[in-house]
Structure 1
Amino acid sequence: MIKLKELSRLYNINKTIVEYGLIELLPRQHRPFSYTLMRIVLFWVRTKHQHLSLPERLRLSLQSLGPIYIKLGQMLSTRRDLLPPIYADQLAYLQDNVPPFCGELAIKQIESSLGKTIDELFENFDATALASASIAQVHTATLREDNREVVIKVIRPEIEKTIQADIQLMKWLAQLMQRFLKDSERLRPVEVVYEYEKTIIDELDLMREGANAIQLRRNFLGSKLLYVPEIYSDYCTKNVLVMERIYGIPVSDIDALEAQGTDLKLLAERGVETFFTQVFRDSFFHADMHPGNVFVSYDHPEDPLWIGIDCGIVGTLNNEDKRYLAENFLAFFNRDYRQVAQLHIDSGWVPEDTPLEEFEFAIRAVCEPIFEKPLSEISFAAVLINLFNTARRYNMKVQPQLVLLQKTLLYIEGLGRQLYPQLDLWDTAKPFLEDWMKEQVSPTNLLKKLQQKAPFWLEKLPDLPELVYHNLASGKSLQKQQKQLIVSITKQQQKNSKSYFYIGIAATLTLVSTLAYLQTDKNLAMIAGIPGLFAWFLAWRHTNNE
């Protein structure tokens, strides 16, 4: 049941749509009846921003609705192959140009969380935010103890209440979808919302973000692909995070990257390699890589290094999901549509009774026209959209554990094509995946797995004879129970067959007696009726006999 808070939030969303005139995003013939009804209900609300362009109004409306909608805008801003440039340019402002909250509030929150005054902790603290995002903002300072330059991330005050209200509203809408929408079983909206809730609530805990950053930094320590700033754990709490200050060029500033002679082709390819390394090598990937969270080092532009910040959202995959994903990608790259269809069935992403040949043909019909283009012009986003539209016919279910992965892949492709429009995502990823698959079945990897399991096996080795004995004993006991069950079933079947025999005789004699009585042959009726009653008695007695 929707609560008053959710109704209030729904009202604010509808009011924002009317106020910013966002219905203009749809052609007039496709505008839903619900909008007309909403416009009648909110008759006193007027469009106040007609002097602004529609892209500006879209950006401001998302900004006014809060962090969940700001994040939606951030993701859309990287999809320049899906949005006109004027929209993408406006939404890009949401990446790190969200209006900051008051610096005095930030100071109070830092002092309250760390238990000391700003002057005791830092020198040169700048009360003006360096950057501001949907959930937090950052300030610069110098650590008093050793003069290291740092940035201090502070959670927005009262932001959790807004997020909780939005999440509850999304749950209510998801439940409505699940009840009334035809595709709800496939889309699993409630599960997706719960997965998203977990993700965004985790992002409110900066201690968790700090742990994620430490893990990601360790995974790429000394790598030429990615640098993650150091986290100063002694200064971190749930609401405050202190980390090394980095200097780099925002990945969206193409002019600055070109001015310093950055190898944009290599940078784009390394972005793709970084993503697949995180997913398949580490099973731990940065899942919020929009341009506001990604920089490029000033050092060695000919050998560019990515810098990643804001590790509040990370994703993980189990070994089974990784294997299915890698095999799916490779099958797509090799245009082996039968293998793609079979993998979808084996993984449970589509029902196991899906006709394999029919599903293969449907995938081929979607993908072959795309592959007729030069590989550098193929958008993975277009492939996903077309594939999902096709899979709807085969009841393909949304996989909540893959939602973050899909979003991150779209981010990476959007960034890569922005840096180097000729980026061939397929050709860049294929060698990596082929090498990873070979490594999974290599003798070296087998030996590594044996070494990992060896301590466990050695620990259990002394107990092995006893375990074997108990298993054999339990096997004999089970075998005895099975024999007893078979004997019991056999006896029951014999008893049932005798019961059916007596019932058959009784029914026959009763029928003969009834017909004779109708023919006024009382002698025959009595001759058949008395044995019939006796047969019914035997049937009843045999059936109830223990």
Structure 2
Amino acid sequence: MIRPKLLLRLIHINWVMMLHGLDEIVLKTHLFRPVRFLALLSPNYWLRKPSEPRGVRIRRTLEDLGPIYVKFGQALSTRKDLLPEDIADELVKLQDKVPPFPNEAARRIIEQQLGQNIEEAFAEFDPNPLASASVAQVHTATLNSGEKVIVKVLRPDIEQRIHSDVGLLYELAKLAERFWKDAKRLRALEVVAEFEKTILDELDLVKEASNASKIRRNFEGSEALYVPEIHWPLTREKVLVMERIHGIPVGEVEQLRAGGADFKLLAERGVEIFFTQVFRDNFFHADMHPGNIFVDLPAKYLAVDFGIVGTLSSSDQRYLAENFLAFFNRDYRRVAQMHIESGWVPSSTRVEEFESAIRSVCEPIFAKPLKDISFGLLLLRLFQTARRFDMVVQPQLVLLQKTLLNIEGLGRQLYPELDLWQTAKPFLENWFKERLGPKAKLKKIMDQFPEIAEQFPELPTLFFHALDSASKSKQQLEANNREIEQLRHQMESNHSSTLWVILASAAIISTAVLVQ
């Protein structure tokens, strides 16, 4: 049963949706048409603003519901191929145009965190936010040294709202697992737990700053990506100070075109950056919506907002690389085998049948540019295939899948002619050669050689102890066998003590097994 506090939150969510007229959208669906007349009984039916387009109503509903819902809208905003144009255009505003919180609150948080007045910390500080998103907003400032920076400030009371909504997600996941047969296969509770960890990490700006520093080091000197420098002396849990960058938002395609951007190179570098972060560094920026990405003309990316990053285990990393490469080579049998070996689908699955299903979904999209691929249809068919073969969702890969969808969405906007598969394939082939080829194995042996060499003087002693231990075990076993034989003779000659003999024999046999 849902707790009263969460029930109130659920009622509030429904109230906000009705207030913005989203009940009208729901009631227009085929399922609810017979009961549409009931909407006339609701006071909200007469309070709503009918002049507002549906896209505006959806955006404002997500803004009013809070950060988790805004993030959902941000994720959808990158997939204009899956949404009606009017809704997609409105959701783009959620990337950096969420209504800001009052300037006085921002100033109070900054001064509390820094332990000094803003006038002491900065030579200049603009109280009007440069951008505002779901979790924080950004102000421009100048350090006393003259360096131009941005100051990121967490929204007040953000933790309470997030905990409330995550609690509701847990309750809904529990209900789903109880009443929906597919929920366990989709691992709803584990997906929510992974999401909770991700969203809570965003509330510590020191952690975000360390993420940015790591990715900055990984791409030091890169022509593809630049990450601003963190100003550590003024960075705290709720305040982050970072070098200010100047670029064109990646979503402003017309502005990029007017500036002479190289769209083909931008699209290819986006794919390169993604695979480099995932497979070379095993540390990837997992919130790459257009509000966080800028372009330094003609084709260099500038990235900000590293509150959400992802990593993979070595087994997941290698498994994914093999899957990608098999997929790019159209080796669907290998893809099917790896899914079964990894436990993603039941071991009883017939390889041939699964291979055929994967081929029927994937083969039609090869040799096509992004603009000719219907990802809506592709996703639908993939979900149908997953359900048919009881494919289990992997919560640890949810961030990776989200990031890949963002990258593909950016590529579609920038250069629809991009061949995603051929761009990524050479990178993965080189990664395999570097990590798993003969040279890589030889290098691993050479790297371990000093440690192995240290053990050389001890090898004769270790060998002697092993032989001595084996010899003693053998002698003990022979002694135990003699005792068992003696007990057998006693049992034959003394029937009155049979029970005790059996118990003693069992004890001796147990000792023998342990010694072995």
What TM-score comes out, normalization by structure 1 length? 0.83
Deviates more, 1:365-374 or 1:96-105: 365-374
Aligned counterpart, 2:205: 206
Alpha-carbon offset, residue 18 of structure 1: 1.8
Alpha-carbon offset, residue 39 of structure 1: 6.5
Does residue 357 (structure 1) correspond to residue 358 (structure 2)? The answer is no
Aligned counterpart, 1:377: 372
Identity of aligned residues (%): 56
Equivalent position amino acid for 1:81 in 2: D
Q: Aligned equivalents of 2:171 and 2:420: distance in 1? A: 38
Q: Aligned equivalents of 1:102 and 1:544: distance in 2? A: 87
Deviates more, 1:343-352 or 1:223-232: 343-352
Q: Aligned equivalents of 2:447 and 2:411: distance in 1? A: 37
Q: Aligned equivalents of 2:458 and 2:128: distance in 1? A: 65
1:380–1:413 CA contact under 8 A, matched in 2: no
Aligned counterpart, 2:160: 161
Q: Aligned equivalents of 1:485 and 1:37: distance in 2? A: 88
Residue deviations 1:333-377 (CA, integer Å, cap 9, x gap): 222111110010112211222111111122122223334756762
Three-state SS of the structure 2 residue aligned to 1:223 is: coil
Label 1:123 to 1:417 Cα distance change in 2 as closer, same or farther (>3 A). Answer: same
Q: Aligned equivalents of 2:475 and 2:59: distance in 1? A: 73
Aligned counterpart, 1:101: 101
Q: Please list, as runs of the form range in 1=range in 2, the aligned pairs for 1:41-80 lying within 5 A after superposition.
A: 43-46=42-45, 48-80=48-80
Three-state SS of the structure 1 residue aligned to 2:302 is: strand
Residue deviations 1:11-39 (CA, integer Å, cap 9, x gap): 11111222222244454323499x98996
Aligned counterpart, 1:388: 383
1:249–1:257 CA contact under 8 A, matched in 2: yes
Aligned counterpart, 1:30: 31
Q: Please list, as runs of the form range in 1=range in 2, the aligned pairs for 1:52-201 lying within 5 A after superposition.
A: 52-144=52-144, 146-201=145-200
Q: Aligned equivalents of 2:247 and 2:482: distance in 1? A: 79
Three-state SS of the structure 2 residue aligned to 1:332 is: helix
Out of 301, 305, 310, the position equivalent to 2:300 is: 305
Alpha-carbon offset, residue 405 of structure 1: 0.3
Label 1:474 to 1:213 Cα distance change in 2 as closer, same or farther (>3 A). Answer: farther
Equivalent position amino acid for 1:223 in 2: S
Equivalent position amino acid for 1:450 in 2: I
Deviates more, 1:446-455 or 1:72-81: 446-455
Alpha-carbon offset, residue 464 of structure 1: 4.6
Q: Please list, as runs of the form range in 1=range in 2, the aligned pairs for 1:514-529 lying within 5 A after superposition.
A: none
| Root-mean-square deviation (Å) | 3.3
Label 1:463 to 1:353 Cα distance change in 2 as closer, same or farther (>3 A). Answer: farther
Alpha-carbon offset, residue 2 of structure 1: 3.0
Label 1:119 to 1:325 Cα distance change in 2 as closer, same or farther (>3 A). Answer: same
Three-state SS of the structure 2 residue aligned to 1:124 is: strand
Larger-gyration structure (1/2): 1
Equivalent position amino acid for 1:364 in 2: R
Out of 457, 462, 474, the position equivalent to 2:452 is: 457
Label 1:75 to 1:478 Cα distance change in 2 as closer, same or farther (>3 A). Answer: farther
Aligned counterpart, 1:215: 214
Q: Aligned equivalents of 1:463 and 1:31: distance in 2? A: 78
Aligned residues: 496
1:23–1:31 CA contact under 8 A, matched in 2: no
Aligned counterpart, 1:271: 270
Q: Please list, as runs of the form range in 1=range in 2, the aligned pairs for 1:377-526 lying within 5 A after superposition.
A: 377-378=372-373, 383-458=378-453, 460-461=455-456, 464-465=459-460, 467-468=462-463
Label 1:120 to 1:351 Cα distance change in 2 as closer, same or farther (>3 A). Answer: same
Three-state SS of the structure 1 residue aligned to 2:125 is: coil
Three-state SS of the structure 2 residue aligned to 1:322 is: helix
Three-state SS of the structure 1 residue aligned to 2:56 is: helix
Q: Aligned equivalents of 1:10 and 1:482: distance in 2? A: 69
Q: Aligned equivalents of 2:292 and 2:475: distance in 1? A: 65
Label 1:469 to 1:134 Cα distance change in 2 as closer, same or farther (>3 A). Answer: farther
1:375–1:426 CA contact under 8 A, matched in 2: no
Alpha-carbon offset, residue 265 of structure 1: 1.0
Alpha-carbon offset, residue 449 of structure 1: 2.4
Three-state SS of the structure 2 residue aligned to 1:139 is: strand
Residue deviations 1:306-340 (CA, integer Å, cap 9, x gap): 00100000000122112211121122222211111
Label 1:477 to 1:37 Cα distance change in 2 as closer, same or farther (>3 A). Answer: farther
Equivalent position amino acid for 1:337 in 2: Y
1:289–1:408 CA contact under 8 A, matched in 2: yes
Label 1:413 to 1:481 Cα distance change in 2 as closer, same or farther (>3 A). Answer: farther
Q: Aligned equivalents of 1:286 and 1:332: distance in 2? A: 24
Q: Aligned equivalents of 2:33 and 2:312: distance in 1? A: 39
Q: Aligned equivalents of 2:17 and 2:473: distance in 1? A: 67
What TM-score comes out, normalization by structure 2 length? 0.88
Alpha-carbon offset, residue 474 of structure 1: 6.1
1:70–1:134 CA contact under 8 A, matched in 2: yes
Alpha-carbon offset, residue 455 of structure 1: 4.9
Residue deviations 1:372-431 (CA, integer Å, cap 9, x gap): 756762366754542232021111111011100000000001011101121221121111
2:288–2:407 CA contact under 8 A, matched in 1: yes
Label 1:379 to 1:275 Cα distance change in 2 as closer, same or farther (>3 A). Answer: farther
Q: Aligned equivalents of 1:489 and 1:78: distance in 2? A: 77
1:377–1:424 CA contact under 8 A, matched in 2: no
Three-state SS of the structure 2 residue aligned to 1:388 is: helix
Q: Aligned equivalents of 2:178 and 2:468: distance in 1? A: 51
Q: Please list, as runs of the form range in 1=range in 2, the aligned pairs for 1:285-364 lying within 5 A after superposition.
A: 285-298=284-297, 301=298, 304-364=299-359
Q: Aligned equivalents of 1:206 and 1:106: distance in 2? A: 15
Q: Give unmatched runs, 5+ long, in structure 1.
A: 491-537
